[in-house]
Amino acid sequence: MAPAASRPAPGARRATSARATLLVVLAGFLALPMSMSGASVAIPRIAAGLGTGGAAAQWVVTAYFLTASALMLISGSLADAVGRRRVYRAGAVAYATGSLAAALAPGIGVLLAARVLTGAGAAGVMAAGGALVAATFSGRARTRAFAAVGTTAGLGLALGPPVSGWLVDALGWRLGFAVFALAGLGLVAGTWALPESRAATRPRVDWAGAALIASGLAGTLLAVSQGPGRGWTDPLVLGAAAVGVLGIGLAVAVERRVPHPVLELRLLRRRRFMGWLLAAGTMALGFGGVLSFLPSYLQSPAGYSATAAGAVMLLPTIPMVGLPPLAAAAINRGASPGALVTGALLLLAAGNAWLTVLAPDVGLATLAGPLLAVGAGVGLASGTIDAQAMDQIDEDHVGMAAGMLNTVRAAANALVLALFGAALVGLLSARLGSSELAGRVVTGNVPAAGADTLAAHLTDVWHLTLWAATGVCVAGAVATGVLVRDGARRNGR
């Protein structure tokens, strides 16, 4: 037996365990956003390879997103009850299995089922990962850890499209999915280095509430995401909306009566926690529209190649990667988290307003300022929001809180994709008298006939939509500042 002096001290063992936890969680927050943002690149190849239409192939992205979003809250609450490492590991297994099944899928039906499984796994990894970080770190260390999470997630989102594009071009779409299956297996292996943590008392799992919440969120998000394209009176959209309203309504009634609910409604009565949730949603709303729709404008009418447009969209990621650690350092030195995040959301608003310089002949030098401002707003806010939200929650409920934060972000992303796109198409339709033509122009297919006039109309519509996004960000910033005032505990204390 080794002499006692040679054994690591308990503090050193805890530090090593904490570093291992953070590294494994960061690996998940890098791989999963990459696969989420990059899957759309493979859609044309998938449609051609499986002999299916583009609309059906698009569900490869939608199935993943809807499943992950609907199960985030449930995964976080389950992690508190049965173990955060256990849920993280189960999520990683499901993610790896789904990715491998997608790589081997013989047809579109199997592929979509595989993507549902992958999304379920992603929910477990993301929600339990945030809970593990919150349970492992406290005070200044927690602020730094969540800054690293924000940096890594931003890097994953940025790298997703170019890396997936390279994988699809070099290896084909099937091996592209297989690469992410290997990443999932790496996450599974990493869980053996994680300590387990859970709530002090193990409650019974509220399966009825879980089913109602999942169906309510899935129905609502499906209706929001499909409404602009199908029309709000489409039977699928109306049916999904009905399921969403009914599911959420019944869930609220059930969660009020069970002793250990999946969603603690009392958390929603905490002013400061709600302020951080609002900040998370505002951040997603302020960035999602630009990220999703600007590349189409840059290609047509602005005339950028697809590669050049993708390179331009890397500009916001520079501050998104670099600023979270600086924000954490400022807070740990005594800066007010509430003031910092309010300022970040106002900077995000300023970036959207500044982007109204957009024009068919816009150059890189003109775009750099507004896009860097947008990225700076996201970079300053991202990790700070999570750390401060967790500081408002007792350790028994950090999984639930992590799931709520991710659910709010997902819902905001679905909302901004629907509303931003609907605003562009709707405003342009009013000018052109044709929704079909407006849809083509918004997605970067400006006909040669009358191109200059169409480009001018599209640019005007973009400006109006950007001003609306600016207003939303300003309102969200002001409301966040009011809700979290005097509430952010400096240095995590």
User: Using one digit for the tens of pLDDT, what is the confidence trace for 419-441?
Assistant: 888 888 888 888 888 877 887 77
Angle at CA of residue 411, ends 406 and 414, nearest 5°: 125
CATH of 269-493, one of 3.30.1600.10, 3.10.129.10, 3.40.30.10, 1.20.1250.20: 1.20.1250.20
pLDDT in tens, 67-91: 888 888 889 888 888 899 999 999 9
pLDDT of res. 361: 93
AA identity, residue 337: P
In single-letter form, the type of residue at position 440 comes to R
**Residue burial 174-202, b: 16+ Cβ < 10 Å; e: rest:** bebbbbbbebbbebbebbeebeebbbeee
**In the chain, how long is the greatest CA-to-CA distance?**
84
Over 90: is that where the pLDDT of 408 sits?
Answer: no
Nearest alpha-carbon partner for 491 in 352, 334, 260, 313: 334
pTM for the whole structure: 0.82
Q: What is the pLDDT of residue 2?
A: 43
Q: What is the pLDDT of residues 285-324, one digit of tens each?
A: 898 888 878 887 888 888 888 678 778 888 888 898 889 9
Q: What are the structural domain ranges in the chain? A: 13-192, 206-261, 269-493
Instruction: Identify the pLDDT of residue 53.
Output: 63
Contact 156, 30 (CB under 8 A): yes
Is residue 153 over pLDDT 70?
A: yes
Q: What is the mean pLDDT of residues 152-178?
A: 80
- Compute the distance between CA of residue 142 and CA of residue 489 in angstroms, rounded to an integer: 12
Of 440 and 283, the one with more pLDDT = 283
Token reading at 145? 């850890």
Q: Per-residue pLDDT for 482 more than 70?
A: yes
269-493 matches 13-192 in CATH topology: yes
At 206, is the secondary structure helix, strand, or coil?
Answer: coil
pLDDT band with cut points at 50, 70 and 90 for residue 8: very low
Nearest to 428 by CA among 453, 400, 394, 398: 453
DSSP state of 193: G
Residue 9: pLDDT band by 50, 70, 90 thresholds? very low
- The span from the CA of 325 to the CA of 144, in Å, is 7
Taking the alpha carbons of 308, 313, 314, 318 in that order, is the dihedral positive or negative?
Answer: positive
Confidence at residue 409, expressed as pLDDT on a 0 to 100 scale: 85
Amino acid 418: pLDDT: 77
Report the share of the chain in percent with pLDDT over 70: 92
Q: State the pLDDT at residue 7.
A: 44
Own/partner contacts of 487-490, CB < 8 Å, gap of 24 or more, are 487/271, 487/272, 487/275, 487/338, 487/392, 488/272, 488/336, 488/337, 488/338, 488/388, 488/391, 489/388, 489/391, 490/331, 490/334, 490/336, 490/337
For residue 334, give the DSSP letter. T
Span 364-404, pLDDT tens digits? 999 999 999 999 999 999 889 988 988 888 887 888 888 88
Mean pLDDT (whole number) for 19-40: 84
Task: Return the number of other C-beta atoms located less than 10 Å from residue 361's C-beta.
Answer: 9
Residues 6+ apart with CB under 8 A from 211: none
Q: Which of 115-129, 418-432, 470-484 has the lowest mean pLDDT?
A: 418-432
The fold adopted by the segment(s) 13-192 is Growth Hormone; Chain: A; (1.20.1250)
pLDDT for 456 beyond 50? yes
Beta-carbon count within 10 A of 163 CB:
18
Q: What is the DSSP letter of 316?
A: T
Give residue for tokens 């169409």. Answer: 454
Report the chain's mean pLDDT, rounded to a whole number. Answer: 85
pLDDT at position 246: 94
Give me the helices (H) in 334-486, please. Answer: 337-354, 364-391, 398-432, 435-442, 451-484
Query: Where does residue 51 fall: left (phi above 0), alpha (psi -120 to 50 degrees), or beta otherwise?
Result: left
Q: How far apart are CA 167 and CA 400, in angstroms?
A: 35
pLDDT at 110 exceeding the cut of 70: yes
| pLDDT the model gives residue 37 | 64
Confidence of residue 1 (pLDDT cuts 50, 70, 90): very low
Q: Which DSSP category does 211 fall into?
A: H
> Residue 10: its pLDDT value, please?
52
